[in-house]
Structure 1
Amino acid sequence: MRVVVDKPISRHRLTDSLLPALRRTLPRIRHRADFFVLLSDSVYVSPAGRAEFVQFLRRAPLLRCDRRDGDDISAHSILIPDFAILGPRYAGELAAIAKASAAIPFERRLGLIKWRGTLSGPGYPNFGNRRDFARYALLMASRKHPEVLDARLITYDNLTDSESALALRRHLRELFGDPAEEVPAEGFVRYKYLISLDGAVAAWKRVPTILASRSVLLLQAQWSQFFYAGLKPWVHYAPVRHDLSDLLKVHERLAEHPEEAEAIADNGQRFAGEILHPAALDTFFVHVVNRCGELCG
């Protein structure tokens, strides 16, 4: 194994998720395989070298956690489970979610849309480009409609130190005060509706944990993960437009049709139990690596 790591978060994903997954699954690997694994969120290629890199990906398997339609680099990637759900903590989180879910029937949950996260998206956020971020639109909708939506940031420290980013930080503090406390995955079970929004890439673990919670997943996504092909709108989740322009209407439909909402929540939890439990994820990862070996051979 040759490792090229450029950021602390990549080192964390390597040591806490990918390497443990490889150690667990190595006895089930049948073929020798050479491939790349993207530990960072994305691949940054200069415009001049993009076409050459895409041709390279046609010959060298690149394993990553998400892809996006229209993105030529991610379109040539092979999807694997994200590093958070490959890691050893995921099983404990699922157990905590299952316990909380069993204790709070769907009809007793609060009828709010709940979200906690960071302000990420297309590039680095600053005061000038803040409206380009769907998560900023979610924050503003929460401020305008607190009876429907509770959305807060858990940190402002991910913003850069540029003058415009500092202006955004002051702006956020003026509107929302200090960042909200982080909520553990099982803490979201108190709410009927949980929304997932893409950031710089897919929201990764947020979608599996929402599905497991037996709350309704409201999904806004341009990036897709390996299991998205099995999800059906209004069966496993409620779809939301990228600009969130229909968010209130989606909430209204769910609130006015509680039986439909509960059925979606049940279907989502069943899907998570069958497809997204740790043993199934390991089996999928083994299949991908073995298939790479077959193709390389």
Structure 2
Amino acid sequence: MRPIDHLCGVIFACFICTVVLIKVGVASEDRIVSPKKTRVWGPGLKSDFFVPVRYFYIHAVDESGEKFIESVGEKAFSVSTYSSDGSRVRIWTQVLDRHDGSYIVRFRPYETTTSLIIDVLYGGKHVAKSPYTLKGPVYHEKCSCPQPDIGQFYKQLDCPKSYQQIKQDLGIFKKIDMKKVAKEAVKRFNNAGAHSICHYKVINNKIYRKTYGQHVGFKMFVDNILVSIVKKVKLPNVEFIVNLGDWPLEKKKLSENPLPILSWCGSEDTRDIVMPTYDITEATLEMMGRVSLDMFSVQANTGPPWSEKSDVAFWRGRDSRQERLDLVVMSRNHPETIDAALTNMFFFKKEPEKYGELVKHISFFDFFKYKYQINVDGTVAAYRLPYLFGGNSLVLKQDSHYYEHFYHHLKPYEHYIPFRHNLSDLMEKVQWARDHDKEAQEIAKAAQMWVRQNLNPADIFCYHVKLFHEYSKLLKNKVEVDKSFEEVEIAKDSESQCDCKPYKKVKGHDEL
């Protein structure tokens, strides 16, 4: 059986330039942590790993070489950073205790340093090969220092060579004539009134766009990821159209020559090209910033251990689909099995006698007080799913024709328990989980491990860049500047030095 991590804990945050007070934890049977044998690894220990928030991992190991499988103390490890000349650096760090003996260390630079040194300590002693020296500039997010070789960018982020979903989505197109595509897309979707689209062009790493439709505010999410990408890598010239709405647009039955429309959600009934949702993308860009829920924070806030969780299936949300209302009714009839309630009602008539009164929002992290999480579609796929998988609860997922960019890698009964779209077998599936507690926990752990390996910040950048790169190869015509397009501003940092250094190859990959 493959090793599976068990995640839970509480976020511990500090400015990385300040050494954290140490609280040495001792695990069961009085085992002693070995600073020398403890493992420290991860991409954040390389200077050329350029993402908004950098990260690496610690796993506590005892004197006999055995890994701990439970927390050795929330504040067991301390981390501090400074430049090679000993001066402080404006960097914010968090050490996240996952309560399985492992920790995430993540840090967000607010200024560039030419040579960063990281101390990792346990009980006042250096851990593993600490101190770690990141040779070459460590840029902060506002710096625009793109890697000129996209292949080397892939190596720096350790991107997969390909993505099956991208191959599938782009495989139906031989060549893309954007002049025809743009004309047809504007005619079809702009006139519909209910849709909004945005035509993007990236030329010499400058971003241009033109919007169509009444509600185009969601262009900010595409702007943000594109701006972040072009600061890190030189994209090929490319142009594409993004659907700014929830529903995928290009229906299979309507056209033998589909339009290449990029969307955040796909479906079995459409041919849209799927990219990571705006939710997980924005959580990646704004990690340790204005968002509190991301793929790392959820790993440190998964509630009590499995044995202490409630065995009631849990759900909260708004009334964006009939099945959600049906779920609430089911919960009211079987409160000992399902705890489901509405937090808002926008789409259906309020009927308190049938659906109960609206309840207050609770922290997403409090979801994980329950063993079982029910995932029901919203207007499209429920974008909370990756975060549910990141916890240590079992996900029961509604059968659906909607999907996000990673869904097709997940397998029923290996990563989640499926139930019918109309909920007719949901009670049966919850009871199965209750009767097969060990198997249910193993499925939860398998999903948890999968998202830890495939939905990290680097993975979100890799997918976007690979999608734009492969898409650009299909364009029939040269991408040209159009005066009717607006250039997207790329803000420059005026406070911190962003003196870009030339890239050079070192030991088979690029270093700065």
The TM-score bracket by the shorter chain reads: 0.7 to 0.9
User: Could you tell me whether the CA contact under 8 Å between 1:97 and 1:189 is conserved in 2?
Assistant: no
Match of 1:4 among 198, 208, 212: 212
1:114 partnered with 2:314: yes
Whether 2:410 is the aligned partner of 1:210: answer no
For residue 284 of structure 1, report the CA deviation from its aligned partner.
0.5
Match of 1:280 in 2: 459
Tell me which residue corresponds to 1:128: none
Aligned counterpart, 2:267: 68
Equivalence map 1:129-148=2 (5 Å): 133-148=322-337
- Share of identical aligned residues, percent? 27
* Counterpart residue identity of residue 3, structure 1: T
Task: Report the alpha carbon displacement of residue 44 of structure 1 after superposing the two structures with TM.
Answer: 6.5
The DSSP-based 3-state class of the residue aligned with 2:328 is helix
Q: Which has the higher strand share?
A: 2
3-state secondary structure, aligned to 1:295: coil
Q: Give structure 2 stretches of 5+ with no counterpart.
A: 1-208, 477-512
**CA shift in 2, pair 1:225/1:44, >3 Å:** closer
* TM-score normalised per structure 2: 0.48
For 1:222 and 1:29, the matched residues in 2 are separated by 36
Q: Which residue among 225, 233, 236 is the counterpart of 1:28?
A: 233
2:288 aligned with 1:80, yes or no?
A: no
| Corresponding residue SS for 1:140 | helix
What letter is aligned with 2:272? S
Which is further off, 230-239 or 182-191? 182-191
CA drift at 1:185: 2.2
3-state SS in 2 of match to 1:3 = strand
More helix by share: 1
CA distance in structure 1 between the partners assigned to 2:394 and 2:287 by the alignment: 20
Give the CA deviation at 1:174: 2.3
Partner AA of 2:341 in structure 1:
R
Equivalent in the alignment of 1:127: none
Contact 1:211–1:265, Cα closer than 8 Å, also in 2 = yes
- What amino acid maps onto 1:96 in structure 2? S
Structure 2: which amino acid aligns with 1:142? Answer: S
What count of residue pairs does the alignment treat as equivalent?
Answer: 259
Counterpart for residue 449 of structure 2: 270
SS of 1:266's equivalent? Answer: helix
Q: Give the direction of change, closer, same or farther, for the CA distance of 1:191–1:51 in structure 2 (3 Å limit).
A: same
Moved more, 24-33 or 258-267: 24-33
Name the residue aligned to 1:104: 304
SS of corresponding position for 1:201 = coil
The secondary structure found in structure 2 opposite 1:55 is coil
- Distance in 1, Cα, partners of 2:430 & 2:335: 13
Deviation at 1:230, TM superposition (A): 0.7
Change (3 A) 1:146 1:280: same
1:181 is displaced (CA, Å) by 1.3
Match for residue 342 of structure 2 among 123, 144, 153: 153
Give the Å deviation of 1:216. Answer: 0.7
Render the CA deviation track for 1:229-264: whole Å, top value 9, x for unaligned. Answer: 110111100001101111111111111111101101
Alpha carbons of structure 1 residues 89 and 193: separation in structure 2 relative to 1, 3 Å: farther
Alpha-carbon spacing, 1:18–1:183, altered in 2? closer, same or farther (3 Å): farther
Q: Deviation digits for residues 64-122 of structure 1, max 9, x if unmatched? A: 122222x2xx2x21111111001034674233322222x5211211111111111123x
1:51 and 2:254 matched = yes
Aligned match of 1:19: 223
Distance 1:272 1:43, change over 3 A: closer
Work out which of the residue numbers 372, 381, 385 in structure 2 matches 1:193: 372
Give the secondary structure class of the aligned counterpart of 2:395: strand
> Which structure has the bigger radius of gyration?
2
| Alignment check: 8 A CA contact 1:194 1:218 kept | yes
Aligned amino acid, residue 210 of structure 2: R
Q: Is this contact kept in 1: 2:236–2:472, CA < 8 A? A: yes
Contact kept, 8 Å, 1:112 with 1:191, in 2: the verdict is yes
Residues 56 and 251 of structure 1, relative CA distance in 2, 3 Å threshold: closer
- SS of alignment partner, residue 239 of structure 2: coil
For each residue in 1:19-65, what CA deviation from the matched residue of structure 2 results, as whole angstroms up to 9, or x when unmatched? 221111123253111111111112679x9xx836x6351xxx21112
Q: In the aligned structure 1, how far is the partner of 2:287 from the partner of 2:448? A: 16
Structure 1 Cα separation of the partners of residues 267 and 254 of structure 2: 17
Distance 1:56 1:254, change over 3 A: closer
Report the Cα offset of residue 150 of structure 1: 0.8
- Matches of 1:207 and 1:120, distance apart in 2: 16
SS across alignment from 1:2: strand
Q: 1:176 to 1:89 in 2, by over 3 A?
A: farther
Cα shift at 1:200: 2.2
Partner of 1:39: 244
Amino acid at match of 2:403: S
Which residue of 1 is the match for residue 502 of structure 2? none
Matches of residues 165-184 of structure 1 in structure 2 within 5 Å? Answer: 165=348, 168-169=349-350, 171=351, 173-184=352-363
Q: When the two structures are superposed, what TM-score results if normalisation uses the length of structure 1?
A: 0.81
1:245 is matched with which residue: 412, 417, 424?
A: 424
